[in-house]
Amino acid sequence: MTSFAIEISDLQKSFGEQIVLDGINLNIQTGSVFALLGPNGAGKTTLINILSTLVKPDKGIARIAGNNVETDVEAVKQSISLTGQSAAVDEVLTADENLRMMGRLSGLSVAASRKRATELLNYFDLTNAAHKRVKTFSGGMRRRLDLALSLVVSRSILFLDEPTTGLDTRSRQALWDIILKLAASGVTIFLTTQYLEEADQLADDIAVIADGRVVAQGTAEELKAQISGEMIELRDENDRIIQSFPTDGTVQDLRRILDEHVENVTNCTHVSIRRPSMDDVFLELTKKKQEVSSK
């Protein structure tokens, strides 16, 4: 039996003249957290829509738990849960009512729906708000409830399409903790995100997509290693970053960067050196892709 929860081979998709996916190849290990990074319009959501059987590919093969997303649709649906970019909850109902309703719609009995709702309210730290109407919830509480709704019926693979967009730092961290708990329980998680720190903190494996193609894949550390050396940052008197540049860390290279750039930045008061971050990786890899595409 394959150790891959998701297998993607030469997947292609266009909408009219626009090529959205241009030959995607990915294998995602069972029980891992996989993060897909890319700028807006790179094809992240389209890929999730294909993998969740909502959109058909033009070419290529995608398998979920060994099942073809085009020919084994029902088997695929039995393996996955999906949480989109916005909270899909009924604001008029309470959290408990939302969960029990989803349970009934998913085929659970009245008793089983009630039991599952209680379990999920506890798991997502929503027990104290169980009987409050969702319209009174904060953004973080809504996202936790939305994620709970996608888990009413246990599935082995969970798609999270930018799950923490719009959340404050505390709510985002709370959701990260839940995602890590789910992964520890054996759920395979496919995550798209615009927060690079999110991928760095959560993912076992990361792929960067640009112009419909995977331009790099590996662990966070492996991707960071693709940017040689360190980063030198020019900062103002309030310690805000003005500009940053890659450096090999030698005195000669530091002197070159300072000679070339500091005199053109009037409000630079000091410099600092750090290791590359996921932001640096993302910007460097997508910039290289854009440069190649423009040639």
Phi, psi angle pair for 98, to nearest 5°:
-60, -45
pLDDT per residue over 251-268, tens digit each?
Answer: 787 788 777 776 666 677
- Residue keyed to tokens 């008029």: 92
Please determine, for residue 2, whether its predicted confidence score (pLDDT) is greater than 70: no
Spatial CA neighbour of 196 closest among 94, 276, 83, 130:
276
CA distance 120 to 100: 10
C-alpha distances (whole Å) from 290 to each of 39, 77, 211, 212 are: 11, 36, 8, 12
DSSP run (H or E) holding 119: helix 110-123
- Predicted pLDDT of residue 171: 83
- Predicted pLDDT of residue 1: 46
The count of other CB atoms within 10 Å of the CB of residue 166 is: 14
The answer to whether 271 touches 232, Cβ cutoff 8 Å, is yes
- Predicted pLDDT of residue 292: 46
Phi, psi angle pair for 178, to nearest 5°:
-65, -40
pTM of the model: 0.77
CA 227 to chain centre: 22
- Predicted pLDDT of residue 72: 95
- Predicted pLDDT of residue 265: 65
- Predicted pLDDT of residue 130: 94
Token pair for residue 86?
């916005």
- Predicted pLDDT of residue 50: 96
Please determine, for residue 4, whether its predicted confidence score (pLDDT) is greater than 70: yes
Q: What is the mean pLDDT of residues 92-96?
A: 94
- Predicted pLDDT of residue 85: 65
Kindly indicate the confidence band of residue 280, based on its pLDDT and cuts at 50, 70 and 90.
low
Q: What is the mean pLDDT of residues 196-224?
A: 87
Q: What is the mean pLDDT of residues 169-191?
A: 89
- Predicted pLDDT of residue 117: 95
CA distance 204 to 227: 19
Phi, psi angle pair for 69, to nearest 5°:
-70, -15
Using only C-alpha atoms, the chain has a radius of gyration, in whole angstroms, of 22
Spatial CA neighbour of 53 closest among 63, 43, 66:
63
The answer to whether 154 touches 129, Cβ cutoff 8 Å, is no
Which domains occur in the chain, in start order?
Answer: 4-224 (3.40.50.300), 230-275 (no CATH)
DSSP state of 136: G
